[in-house]
Amino acid sequence: MAFTIKVNGIAHSVDVDADTPLLWVLRDVLGMCGTKFGCGIALCGACTVHLDGTPTRSCVTPVGSIGNQAITTIEAIRKTPQGKAVQQAWLDLEVVQCGYCQSGQIMSAAALLTNTPKPSDAEIDAAMSGNVCRCGTYQRIRAAIHHAAGMRED
Amino acid sequence: MAHHVCVPRLDRRGFLKVGAALSGGLVINVAVPIAFRPPWAAEVGPSFDPNAFIRIDRRGVVTLVMPMVEMGQGTYTALPMLLAEELEVALDQVRLEHAPPNDVLYANPMLHFQATGMSSSIRAFWTPLRQAGAVGRTLLIAAAANRWRVDPGRCRAQRGVILHPTSTRRLPYGELVDDAATLPVPAADSVALKDSREFTLIGTPAKRLDTPDKVNGLAQFGIDVRVPNMKVAAIAISPVFGGKPKSVNEAAARTVKGVCQVVRIDNAVAVVGDHMWAAKKGLIAAAIQWDDGPLATINSSDIIRQLEEASKQPGVVARNEGDAENALAGAAQRIDAIYQVPFLAHAAMEPMNCTVHVRKDGCDLWVGTQVPTRTQSLVAEITGLPKDAVKLHNQLLGGGFGRRLEADGTVLAVKIAQHVDGPVKVLWSREEDIQHDMYRPYYYDRLSAGLDASGKPVAWTHRLCGSSIYARYLPQIFTNGLDHDAVEAAAEPPYHLPNIHVDYVRVEPPGIPTAFWRGVGPTHNVFVVESFIDELAAAAKQDPVAYRKTLLGHNPRALGVLELATRQAGWGRPLPARRARGVSVQFAFDTYLSQVAEVEVTTEGSVQVHRIVCAVDCGIAINPDTIAAQVEGGALFGLTAALYGNITLKNGRVEQSNFHDYQPIRIDEAPRIETHLVRSAASPGGFGEAPTAAVAPAVTNAIFAATGKRIRTLPIDTALLKSTA
C-alpha cells in the first residue's frame, strides 16, 4: 500500500508493505544511500535516523509506524546547529577511517547534543554505545562530541 | 601476508613513462618491476596508457589514479602526499580516481599483482611515487625554462607554479603541461629526491582527502551503487559449507509483493526483488530445505583435536639455529606451554555485496575489492568472457581487514546475475556475512624453552599448526611446505635466543574456509611469543620489561620502542589491587612497536582495559595523525578479538550470526589509547595491521600481573579469572 513519509522536509509517496523497514525505503526506494545497513536488527546503529529529533534505528522501524513524524537523515543533518557542529568536529578531529558507520555515529551524536548540550563521558557512552565502529574510532568520537559541544557556545 | 617472500627492496626504482594525455596535458605512468606474476596477472598489455596513473591537465589539476584502495587505513591521503611532496603541489590540488583492474599499470610490487593488503601500500610506492613527482616537476621546470630561455637551475616549483625568482616570472603547471609532455624524460633515478629534512608535507598531520564526503553521507561505498533498472537480491547460502539447496518453494516466494525472481545456484538461493525487504521476505517464504552434505557432523572440538594430534609431529622448519633440543635437555629450568587462537570473522561494517550486470558481450561489476584483477580474472573464467569485457568499477570499502582480498562474494553475485536480465545488487545479510566469511585460521602452538641458572633463555622451540592461506591463494610462494605468512613474527622474534627451532605443520580444517585477517601471522604469533617471553620472565623471577631489555641489546629499534612505551606508561608505578600493566614488543611489517596495557580484573573475572600506551618506530611517518588513528583502531580491533572473537562450528554450522554473539567492542568499553612516535629517517614501514597484533599479549600479560593467571587461549575466558579468594 502507499505511504506518505516526510524525509528532510520533503514528502514522498512510497508503495511498499507496511512492515517494510524505513532503512530499505530510504536506500532502495528513494535512493538515499547515506543511511547505512549494518546488522538489520538494531545492534549496530549504522542505520540511525531521527524521527521528530529522536535517534531511531531505521532497520527495525516499519514504514507503516511512522505516520507524520519528520524523518531527518544524514543528508540533511547539517541543517540543524547540532548536526553542523558534529560534522565540523568530525572533520576537525579527523574521526573517520573507513567511514561506513559514521552516518549513524553522527546522527546519534547530533541527537545527544540536542538533548544534552554538554555531555559527560558517561553520557556520551550511554548515548553512543549502540553505534558500532569496527575501525575503532571511539576515542576520537568522544573527543569530537566534546569539541562540538564547546563549539556551540562560541 | 608476510613480507619475507617478496623480492623487491624498499628502494626499488620505478620505470617512468611520460607522454601526452588524450585531452591534453601531461601523463606519467609508473611501472614498477614485478618479480613474478600470479596466473591471473600473467597477461601483459601496453605499459603506457594516456589515462593512467598521474595526469596533470591544462587547468593544473593533478589526478592520481589510485592503485591501492581506501578502506579506512588512509592510503587515499598518504599516497597523494608522496606524489605531492616531490611534484610541489598542495594536497588540495590532487584529485583521486579508483584504478580499474590492470596489473601492468597498477601492480603492487610487494604482492606481485594489483592488491591492497599486507600493510604494503606505503612500502610499495614510497620510492616510485616520489620519483614520479620529481620527474614531473623536473619536466615542468624544463618547459618553463625553455619558454623563458633561462637556466632551469634558476627556476623552482612551488604549489603548482614554476617561478623564476630573478625575473619574478611565473607560470602555473597547467600552462606548461603540453610542452612538458614533449620533452625528453630523465631517468627516474637520475632525479634527486628530497632528504627527509626537506619535507614540507610528509611528516605533517595532513587532513584526509576522503573525510568530507564521509561525514555528509555522500561517500559511495560498494553497497551504495545504484544502476538504472537495478534489482536487489537477498541470498541464503547453505548453512553447512559444501551443502546444496534441496527444496525451494519458488511459487510462495514469488507471491511476495516486489519479488521478481528466484535463482538457485549450486550452494545458494537468491530472491530477486525491487528492494531488499521484498527480497528478504521472499527468501523466508521460499522455506529452503538444505542437503547439508558430508560436513554436517563437524564440530570445533574435532578441528582442535586434529590440530592437537598434528602438533605432536615435526613440521617444516622455518628457523633453526644452534641446537635447541640439546640446549633444552641441559637447561636448569624447562617451561612448556600450549597456545591456541580461534577462528575469527572479519565483520566489516559494510556487509558483503556486489552489483553485477551480465550481458552476452560483457559484464560490469561494481564492488569494493582489495583485489580488482584477481576478481576480474575469476569473473572472466565463470562467464567465459574475455578479461577486457569484464569491467570492474571499484568503490570505497566499508572496512576490509582482509575480507575483501577474497572474490567469493563477487563470484557468487555473478553466478546469480547470470540468471537475471539486467543489473542486480546482491547483498548479504549480517548473518550471511558472519556465517559465510572466510575465517582467520585456528592455530595450535606448542612451545618449550630452557633457562639457565640465571634465568636467561638458552633454548626456544615453537611449533605452529594451522591452515596455510598462501597454499590456496598464491601457491607460487608456498614453497617447500612453508607458509611465510603463518610464521611471520614467530620465526624471527626480536629477542636474542641462541638455540632456536621453529617449525610449521600445515593442517587444513574440514568444513571451514580460511583467509587473511588484519595481520594474520603477527596477530597470532605476537600473542604467542610475547606471552611466552612473559612466562620466561616470570619463571626467572624478573620484571617483564627488565627481562626483555636484557634480550634486546642487539636490537636498538626494538629496545627504543620498549623504553619509550614503558616510560610513557609509567611502568613500575604502583596501581590499585587487581590492576596491573602488561607489555609487548613486536617487529612486523617493517615496523617496531611496543604496547603497555593497564588492565583491571574484577573479582567476578571481568576484564576492563583502562589505558593502552603504544610506542611506534615505523621509520618515516608519512602522516603521523593516520599512524595514531591506526594505533587506536588497530588496538581496538585486536582487543575485540582478544576479549570476544570466537567463531565456532557445531554440526558443520557457524554458531555466531550477528553482533550479539560476535561481539565488537563498544565505546563504553574502549580504553584511552596513546601513541608515541620515535622520530626516524629510516624508510617507512607498514602500519595498517601492526597495532592489531601487539594488544592481546599486552592485555593478557597484564592479567597475569594482576591475578597470577596465565591466558594461553583466546578469547580470554573470564570464568578462569574469577577470584576464588
Residue B482 three-state SS: strand
Torsion from C-alpha of B245, B249, B250, B253, nearest 10 degrees: -120
Is there a contact between A136 and B427 if contact means CB atoms under 8 Å apart?
no
3-state SS, residue B467? coil
Check B275 against A28: CB less than 8 A apart.
yes
Q: What is the number of helices (H) and of strands (E) in chain B?
A: 18, 28
Cβ pair B276:A27 closer than 8 A: yes
- What is the rounded distance in angstroms from the CA atom of residue A16 to the CA atom of residue B356? 25
Q: Is the dihedral of CA B646, B649, B655, B659 positive or negative?
A: positive
Residues in chain B: 725
Cβ of B223 within 8 Å of Cβ of A36? The answer is yes
Contact B349 A37 (CB under 8 A): no
Residue B477: the pLDDT is 87
C-alpha angle with apex B50: B45 to B52, nearest 5 degrees?
Answer: 70
How far does CA B2 lie from the centroid of its chain? Answer: 11
CATH number of B301-343+439-721: 3.30.365.10
Distance CA A97, CA A93 (A): 12
Please name every residue paired with B583 in a beta bridge, in sequence order, or none if there are none: B596
For B166-187, the pLDDT digits (tens) are: 999 999 999 999 999 999 999 8
How far is Cα A80 from Cα B541, in angstroms, rounded to an integer?
60
Q: Is B572 exposed, middle or buried (0-12, 13-18, 19+ CB in 10 A)?
A: exposed
Q: Which of B216, B347, B660 sits opposite A134 (nearest CB)?
A: B347
**H or E stretch including B595?**
strand B591-601
pLDDT band at B14 (very low <50, low <70, confident <90, very high): low
Nearest CB partner across the interface for B660, out of A28, A32, A43 = A43
Q: SS in 3 state form for chain A?
A: CEEEEEECCEEEEEECCCCCEHHHHHHHHCCCCCCCCCCCCCCCCCCEEEECCEEEEHHHCEHHHCCCCEEECCCCHHHCHHHHHHHHHHHHCCCCCCCCCHHHHHHHHHHHHHHCCCCCHHHHHHHHCCCCCCCCCHHHHHHHHHHHHHHCCC
Nearest by CB to residue A98, choosing from B72, B347, B429, is B72
In this prediction, residue B42 has a pLDDT band, given cuts at 50, 70 and 90, of low
* Distance from the B519 Cα atom to the nearest Cα atom in chain A, whole angstroms: 14
Q: What is the mean pLDDT of residues B688-706?
A: 97
Q: Which of B92, B116, B429, B667 to probe by mutation at the A interface, max A CB count within 10 Å?
A: B667
pLDDT tens digits along B538-554: 999 999 999 999 999 99
Cα dihedral B539, B543, B548, B553 sign: negative
Consecutive 10-residue averages of pLDDT for chain A (154 residues): 96 97 98 98 98 98 98 98 98 98 98 98 98 98 98 57
Bridge partners (DSSP) listed for residue B343: B647
> Which residue in B601, B573, B571 sits closest to B584, CA to CA?
B571
B635 close to B695: Cβ distance less than 8 angstroms: yes
B222-293+352-427 and B301-343+439-721: same fold? yes
Rounded to a whole number of angstroms, the CA Rg of chain A reads 15
B-facing residues of A in 40-59 (CB < 8 A) are 40-41, 43-44, 46
Which of 65-124 (A) contact B at CB < 8 A?
A: 73-75, 78, 87, 90-91, 94, 96-103, 106, 124
Q: How far apart are CA B348 and CA B12, in angstroms?
A: 33
Contact indicator for B434, B657 with CB cutoff of 8 Å: yes
Contacts of A97 (CB under 8 A, 6+ apart): A133, A135, A136, A137, B72, B73, B74, B629, B633
Judging by DSSP bridges, how do beta strands B231-237 and B424-427 pair with one another? parallel
Interchain contact, A98 vs B635, CB within 8 Å: no
Q: Which residue has cell 553466478?
A: B415
The residue-averaged pLDDT of B463-472 equals 97
Tell me how far apart the terminal alpha carbons of chain A are, to the nearest angstrom: 48
Residue A94 to chain B, least CA–CA distance (Å): 7
| Peptide bond preceding B544 in cis form (omega within 30 of 0) | no
Q: What is the pLDDT of residue B11?
A: 43
A24 in reach of chain B (CB within 8 A): yes
* Test the B interface: residue of A15, A19, A39 with most B CBs within 10 Å: A39
Per residue in B594-652, pLDDT tens? Answer: 999 999 999 999 999 999 999 999 999 999 999 999 999 999 999 999 999 999 999 99
Burial (Cβ within 10 Å: 0-12, 13-18, ≥19) of residue B314: exposed
Dihedral over alpha carbons A138, B528, B687, B666 (to 10 degrees): -10
Does the pLDDT at position B132 exceed 50? yes
Buried b (16+ CB within 10 A) or exposed e, B449-466: bbbeeebbbbbbbbbbbb
Asked if A99 lies within 8 A of B74 by C-beta distance, the reply is no
Chain B CB contacts of A134 under 8 Å are 347-349, 399, 401, 637, 640, 664
CB nearest A139 (choices: B205, B226, B670): B670
- How far does the CA of residue B455 sit from the closest CA of chain A (Å)? 39
660-719 in B: which are within 8 Å (CB) of A? 660, 664-668, 670, 672-673
- A142 CB near a chain B CB, below 8 Å? yes
CB-nearest partner of B277 from A20, A31, A97: A20
Query: Per the CB < 8 Å rule, is A106 touching B215?
Result: yes
| Higher pLDDT, residue B321 or B39 | B321
Predicted TM-score (pTM) of the model is 0.96
Residues sharing a CB contact under 8 Å with residue B606, sequence separation 6 or more, in sequence order? B718, B721
Are the CB atoms for B110 and B3 separated by under 8 Å? Answer: yes
Q: Cell 592479567 sits at which residue?
A: B703
Query: Are the Cβ atoms of A102 and B215 closer than 8 angstroms?
Result: yes
Q: What's the mean pLDDT in B459-473? A: 97
Confidence of residue B1 (pLDDT cuts 50, 70, 90): very low
Q: How confident is the model at residue B690 (pLDDT cuts 50, 70, 90)?
A: very high
Residue A137 and residue B398: Cβ atoms within 8 Å?
no
Contact B8, B27 (CB under 8 A): no
Q: Where are the domains of chain B?
A: 15-214, 222-293+352-427, 301-343+439-721
Return the residue of A nearest to B674 by Cα. A139
Most distant CA atoms of chain B, gap in Å: 88
Q: Does B397 touch chain A (CB under 8 A)?
A: yes
Backbone phi, psi, residue B393, to 5°: -105, 100
Position A154 scores a pLDDT of 46
**A90/B632 Cβ within 8 A:** no
Instruction: Please tell me the distance from the alpha carbon of residue B455 to that of residue B468, in angstroms, as a whole number.
Output: 35
Q: Which residue has the cell 601496453?
A: B46
Average pLDDT, chain B: 95
* Cell numbers linked to B703: 592479567
**Residue B531 scores a pLDDT above 90:** yes
HSE, CB side, 13 Å, CA atoms: give it for residue B642.
31
Residue B8: pLDDT over 70: no
Give the bridge partners for A79, in sequence order: none
Residue B461 · residue B328 · CB < 8 Å: yes
Instruction: Tell me if chain A has a CB within 8 Å of the CB of B274.
Output: yes
pLDDT digits (tens, 9 = 90+) for B273-284: 999 999 999 999
ipTM for this prediction:
0.98
- Kindly report the nearest CA distance between residue A9 and chain B, in angstroms: 17
CATH architecture, range B15-214? 2-Layer Sandwich (3.30)
Q: How far apart are CA B126 and CA B238, in angstroms?
A: 44
Task: Judge whether residue B349 has pLDDT over 50.
Answer: yes
Selecting from B218, B258, B634 the residue whose C-beta is nearest the C-beta of A34 gives: B218
- Residue labelled with grid coordinates 557457524: B654
Residue with cell 638455540: B499
Task: Read off the pLDDT band of B9 (50, 70, 90).
Answer: very low
Is B71's pLDDT higher than 60?
yes
Please state, in angstroms and rounded to a whole number, the distance separating the CA atoms of residues A57 and B378: 38
Ranges of H-type helices in B181-272: 212-215, 250-254
Is the torsion defined by CA of B213, B215, B217, B220 positive or negative?
A: positive
What percentage of residues in chain B have a pLDDT greater than 90? 90
What is the nearest CA distance from B92 to chain A, expressed in angstroms? 15
Q: At which residue does the C-alpha cell 616531490 appear? A: B86
Backbone angles phi, psi at B214, to 5 degrees: -90, -5
DSSP state of B240: B
Tell me the residue type at B306: Q
Residue found by looking up cell 594451522 in the block: B466
The residues near B104 (Cβ < 8 Å, ≥ 6 apart) are B31, B44, B45, B46, B47
- Asked if B214 and A135 come within 8 Å (Cβ–Cβ), the reply is no
pLDDT > 70 in chain B, percent: 97
State the average pLDDT over residues B664-674.
98
Query: What is the set of domains in chain A, with CATH numbers?
Result: 2-72 (3.10.20.30), 77-151 (1.10.150.120)
A134: nearest Cα among B566, B399, B285 = B399
Write the pLDDT tens digit of every residue in A73-107: 999 999 999 999 999 999 999 999 999 999 999 99
Tell me which residue of B24, B411, B404, B389 sits closest to B182, measured CA to CA.
B24
- Scanning B577-636 for CB atoms below 8 A from A yields 625, 629, 632-636
Q: Looking at CA atoms only, how far is residue B634 from chain A in angstroms?
A: 7
Using the CB atoms, write b or e for B263-273: b if 16+ within 10 Å: bbbebbbbbbb
- Specify the CATH number for B222-293+352-427; select among 3.20.20.70, 1.10.600.10, 3.40.50.300, 3.30.365.10: 3.30.365.10
Contact between chains at B207 and A129 (C-beta distance less than 8 A): no
| Residue at grid coordinates 592481546 | B696
